[in-house]
Structure 1
Amino acid sequence: MGSLVFLALLLGVMYFILIRPQQRQMKEQQARIRSLEAGMIVVTNSGIHGAIAEVEDKVIWLEVAPEIELKISKGAVAEIVTDEDDDENDDEGADDLAAGDADA
């Protein structure tokens, strides 16, 4: 009887450690996909940065350079870049360049 209680407790702990976080991540990904609209700056799972030119049912057209658009799955969007994120990345890049120039 004690081993049965231990097994049930172990399954409960595994549920909260493994399954619940995964469900939360799926809900966040679905919300992110639903919120996509033209003009947003995004990063894909493969690391491609671009602006959304057009949103269709299951795909988006991502402008990666002037007049160059890629057709990608909505599920491939890993992150929506905000202005604050972009500013932080620009500042970090400038610091790295300045440090590299000092070494030369």
Structure 2
Amino acid sequence: MIFEPSLAFAMGANGAEGQGNPITAFIPLIVMFAIFYFLLIRPQQKKAKQHREVLGNLKKGDRVITAGGLYGRIHALNDDILTLEIGDNVKVQTNRNYIAGLAETETRPVSKEPK
């Protein structure tokens, strides 16, 4: 005789064993969210807060680097527009939000003398 499983057999007592507490199904999701929060979301929020503080404390004479990679010294400040001096008598204007941070090192002009 060939055994042919039927729908009634599949829905029998063995199929009903997986019915447990519904909260236990959400525990892995809650753990994954906690991991993402502490490893990704929270550090990003801290970094954004520090960046906002740096932008809020900018003053004339600070050396900064822009998001485009330009190093310069703040020559003038308006509400959202900064005038940066990036060379001798070379000034550019940029939006305050495009300042990546304070420049840690002093840049030196490139020597024009051949080696």
Question: What TM bracket, shorter-length normalisation?
Answer: 0.7 to 0.9
Q: How far apart are residue 2 of structure 1 and its match?
A: 2.0
Equivalenced residue count is: 87
> Which has more helix, going by share of residues?
1
Q: Superposition RMSD on alpha carbons, in Å? A: 1.8
TM-score (normalised: structure 1): 0.74
Poorly superposed stretches of 4+, deviation over 2 Å: none
Gaps of 5+ in 1: 91-100
TM-score (normalised: structure 2): 0.68
Work out which of the residue numbers 60, 77, 84 in structure 2 matches 1:55: 77
Corresponding residue of 1:28: 50
Q: Percent identity?
A: 24
Residues 53-75 of structure 1 show CA distances to partners (whole Å, capped at 9, x for unaligned) of 01111110001122221110111
Instruction: Kindly name which structure, 1 or 2, has the bigger radius of gyration based on alpha carbons.
Output: 2
Q: Distance in 2 between matches of 1:33 and 1:59?
A: 12
Q: Distance in 1 between matches of 2:35 and 2:69?
A: 35
Work out which of the residue numbers 90, 99, 102 in structure 2 matches 1:68: 90
Gaps of 5+ in 2: 1-22, 109-114
Structure 1 residue matching 2:93: 3-state secondary structure: strand
Q: How far apart are residue 78 of structure 1 and its match?
A: 1.3
